[in-house]
């Protein structure tokens, strides 16, 4: 069996260029060094990973909620319409085509005055009198924040008698979106600072505890990056592991939000959970490695 294994190993080795073999061995050694460093850090690993998981959970939960709030806002924005009342004698189709050319306009629907009058009569049980209503256009805009500019443009048209839209609601949606985006950026910044500080301090402790060993490596001619790389990887490992654990509470947040979307009959944003997970892992790992790198720059003289 062993002979068979050796034969396979030899066959595989034959096909790998010598330089690559050398690089692969170095990579293997570096991985082992990283693994040993983490093992030697002992119980502190648990503390760091748990702290990282807590920070990433807060970030993930916030980011995921922000995506849902955005989706709610978008959905509300979609039902916002501008009602345009035309002067008598104006051609609704001409005005419709004119408005359709405006930027941000997603659609225009003509409500003929006869239809409006019939509906009103039916709803209010009115007697048969001359139709006093004008032809109406319902204009749909792509985003709530674009309603106002479109409204002002339509107002300039000579065929328009009067207009209306839920101005307050549109403004509130716009403000809500703005606040959520600002807080998300703020949370990302806080998270970055916390992650980098925690990793920085941990790696500083690791460097202190391995001071003699690093000194020996340095004096024996071990290359600078060979000394630094396992420490950077250790930082990245903490970020990655923290993100891995944060998946559990994040799943609860996801379920809660999905229930909320179902309750309000607003579709949940597509791929939101996947986006949050990818960003959480990328940020955890990058900030972990970054914190370690900054610490090495400051405290490791090689």
Q: Which residues bind to another protein, rule: CB under 8 A?
A: 21-26, 29, 212-213, 215-224, 226, 302
Please identify, using beta-carbon distances, which residue of 2 and 274 lies nearer to another protein: 2
Cβ(204)–Cβ(79) below 8 Å: no
Please identify, using beta-carbon distances, which residue of 46 and 216 lies nearer to another protein: 216
Report the relative pairing of strands 160-164 and 136-141 from DSSP bridges. Answer: unpaired
Please identify, using beta-carbon distances, which residue of 197 and 223 lies nearer to another protein: 223
CB of 288 to another protein, least distance (A): 24
Please identify, using beta-carbon distances, which residue of 20 and 271 lies nearer to another protein: 20
CB of 14 to another protein, least distance (A): 14
Measured in degrees and rounded to the nearest 5, phi and psi for residue 253 equal -60, -45
CB of 215 to another protein, least distance (A): 7
Closest CA to 68 of 273, 243, 263, 247: 273
CA–CA dist 98, 114 (Å, integer): 22
CB of 247 to another protein, least distance (A): 35
CB of 7 to another protein, least distance (A): 16
Closest CA to 61 of 220, 277, 271, 238: 277
CB of 59 to another protein, least distance (A): 36
Cβ(76)–Cβ(173) below 8 Å: yes
CB atoms within 10 A of CB 52: 28
**3-state secondary structure (DSSP) of residue 133:** coil
Closest CA to 232 of 155, 167, 291, 157: 291
Please identify, using beta-carbon distances, which residue of 13 and 155 lies nearer to another protein: 13
Please identify, using beta-carbon distances, which residue of 8 and 222 lies nearer to another protein: 222
Measured in degrees and rounded to the nearest 5, phi and psi for residue 162 equal -155, 165
């Amino acid at each position: 069996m062993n002979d068979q294994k050796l034969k396979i190993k030899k066959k595989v080795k034959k096909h790998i260029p010598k330089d690559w073999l050398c690089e692969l061995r170095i990579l293997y050694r570096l991985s082992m060094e990283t693994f040993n460093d983490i093992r030697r850090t002992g119980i502190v690993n648990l503390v760091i990973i748990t702290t990282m998981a807590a920070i990433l959970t807060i970030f993930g939960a916030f980011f995921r909620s922000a995506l849902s709030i955005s989706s709610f806002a978008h959905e509300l924005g979609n039902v916002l319409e501008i009602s345009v009342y035309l002067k008598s004698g104006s051609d609704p189709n001409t005005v419709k085509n004119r408005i359709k050319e405006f930027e941000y306009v997603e659609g225009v629907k003509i409500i003929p005055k006869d239809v409006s009058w019939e509906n009103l009569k039916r709803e209010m049980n009115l007697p048969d009198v001359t139709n006093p209503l004008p032809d109406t256009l319902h204009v749909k805009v792509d985003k709530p924040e674009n309603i106002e500019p479109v409204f002002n443009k339509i107002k300039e048209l000579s065929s328009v008698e009067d207009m209306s839209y839920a101005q307050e609601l549109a403004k509130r949606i716009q403000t809500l979106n703005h606040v959520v985006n600002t807080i998300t950026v703020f949370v990302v910044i806080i998270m970055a600072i916390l992650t980098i500080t925690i990793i920085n301090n941990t790696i500083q402790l690791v460097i202190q505890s391995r001071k003699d060993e690093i000194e020996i490596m340095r004096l024996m001619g071990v290359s600078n990056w060979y000394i630094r790389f396992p420490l950077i990887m250790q930082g990245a490992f903490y970020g990655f592991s923290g993100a891995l654990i944060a998946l559990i509470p994040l799943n609860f947040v996801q379920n809660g939000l999905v229930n909320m979307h179902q309750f309000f009959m607003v579709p949940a944003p597509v791929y939101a959970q996947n986006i949050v997970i990818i960003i959480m892992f990328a940020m955890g790992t990058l900030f972990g490695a970054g914190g370690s790198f900054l610490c090495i720059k400051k405290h490791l003289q090689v």
